[in-house]
Amino acid sequence: MNTQLIIADDHPLFRSAMKQAVGSMLGGEIFEAQDFESCLALLREQSMVELVLLDLNMPGNKGLTGLSYLRTTFPSVQIIIVSAVDDAEVIRRAIDFGASGYIPKSASLDVIQQAINKVLDGEMWLPQELASRIEGKSRADDVDFAARLEQLTPQQFRVLSMVADGLLNKQIAYEMNVQETTIKQHVSAILKKLGVINRLQAGILFKQRLDLTDNASALES
C-alpha cells in the first residue's frame, strides 16, 4: 500500500506515535499538521493525500466545522476522527457529517491499522462498542443539512461560518479581500442552497449543527 496521509493533531508526541504506528503499513508519505490551517495548507499543496486523521479538538477546528469544511473542499479525501472523545452523540454526528470512521486515542496499533485499512477500502469503521451505541441513530435533519452544506463552494462555506460568527457583509468582505457585492451574492446563494429565508436563520442552523456547544465538556481532552 502506498498512501499519503495527514496526521492533524496539536500534540507533537501523539503525532509522532501515530506516525510510527501507521508508517510501516502505508509505505507512502505521512505529513503532520499542528492546527487546522496547516492541515488545509498541506491538502492544497499535496494533491495525492487520500486520508486525514483529524483531532476534533485542535486549534482552528471548532466542533464539526473543520470536518464539514474538509468534506466540502476536498470531497475525495477520507477523514477519520482520532480523539479521546467517546461521547456517542458527538461520534454519531461526526459520522452524519461525513467522517469515515472514529479511532480512540487509546486504541492499540492493531486497531489503528485495521481502521485505516477498512476506510481506505471504502468502508466505515467504528469501535464495536461505539458502533452498537449509535447504530440506527442517525438524525435525518443532520444528514440533510450535511448534504446541503456539501453543495456550497469553499468560499460560500467560509462566508457562512463568518455569518454564523455574527460578522456583517462588509466585515466578511474585508476578511476575504473581496467586494461587499460579492459577499451579498454568496449569501443569496447560501440561503437558496440551505433552504432558509435569511442570514440569521442560516447562522443559527450552522451553529446548532456544527459547534457541538452542548457537548463542550466532552471535547475538553
Place of cell 505529513: 31
User: Residue 99 in contact with residue 210, Cβ under 8 Å?
Assistant: no
pLDDT in tens, the chain (221 residues): 678 999 999 999 989 988 888 887 777 789 999 999 999 999 999 999 999 999 988 888 888 999 999 999 999 999 999 988 778 888 888 888 999 999 988 888 888 888 999 999 989 998 887 777 776 656 778 888 999 999 999 999 999 999 999 999 999 999 999 999 999 999 999 999 999 999 999 999 999 888 865 544 334 33
Please state the φ and ψ torsions of residue 126, each to the nearest 5 degrees: -140, 150
pTM of the predicted protein model: 0.84
Domain boundaries, the chain: 3-134, 140-215
User: Residue 138 in contact with residue 92, Cβ under 8 Å?
Assistant: yes
Please state the φ and ψ torsions of residue 177, each to the nearest 5 degrees: 60, 45
Among 1.10.10.10, 1.10.20.140, 3.40.50.720, 3.30.1300.10, name the CATH number for the domain at 140-215.
1.10.10.10
- Where does residue 27 rank: exposed (0-12), middle (13-18), buried (19+ CB within 10 A)? exposed
- Domain 3-134 annotated CATH 3.40.50.2300: yes
SS3 state at 115: helix
CB atoms within 10 A of CB 188: 11
CB atoms within 10 A of CB 55: 26
SS3 state at 29: strand
How high is the pLDDT of residue 136?
Answer: 60
How high is the pLDDT of residue 138?
Answer: 63
